[in-house]
């Protein structure tokens, strides 16, 4: 069982930056691939970024490439999402998610692949 707690959301002006953190419980964090998703009002929960359990491989949705960076620190049981050059369309509740992975280099982009979810953190970008 993994429990995930996100933090770092808030209100920021367009062009600004935020860093989201997701702290995981348990001693096996390094065996889980991680992902970030977001859900805007009235919308579905969409993929944003993913990282393999080792951190060696990452993947991003096209709309955030070059602006967002996903990373992890397995010693701290934490995954991060650095968000730069934020736009109003990035406004959403951001969720981190975890899935056990037998591969050090596999990442997952489908919501249904993930078994554990955090409670979400609100990111609001004003124009």
pLDDT of residue 1: 83
Average pLDDT, the chain: 97
Residues with Cβ within 8 Å of 121's Cβ and at least 6 positions away in sequence, in order, are 6, 7, 8, 9, 20, 93, 94
* Residue labelled with tokens 């944003």: 48
Residue 26 pLDDT grade (very low, low, confident, very high; cuts 50, 70, 90): confident
pLDDT of residue 113: 97
- What are the residues facing 116 on neighbouring strands? 98
Q: Would the pLDDT of 27 be above 80? A: no
Q: What does the pLDDT look like over 49-96, one tens digit per residue?
A: 999 999 999 999 999 999 999 999 999 999 999 999 999 999 999 999
Tokens at 68, concatenated: 């967002």
């Amino acid at each position: 069982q993994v429990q995930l707690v996100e933090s770092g959301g808030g209100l920021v002006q367009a062009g600004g930056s935020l860093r989201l953190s997701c702290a995981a419980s348990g001693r096996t964090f390094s065996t889980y691939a991680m992902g970030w998703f977001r859900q805007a009002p009235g919308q579905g929960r969409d993929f944003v970024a993913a990282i393999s359990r080792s951190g060696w491989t990452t993947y991003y949705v096209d709309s955030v490439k070059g602006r967002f960076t996903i990373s992890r620190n397995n010693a701290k049981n934490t995954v991060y999402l650095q968000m730069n050059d934020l736009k109003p369309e990035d406004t959403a509740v951001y969720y981190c998610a975890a899935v056990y992975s037998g591969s050090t280099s596999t990442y997952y982009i489908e919501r249904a692949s993930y078994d554990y979810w955090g409670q979400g953190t609100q990111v609001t970008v004003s124009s």
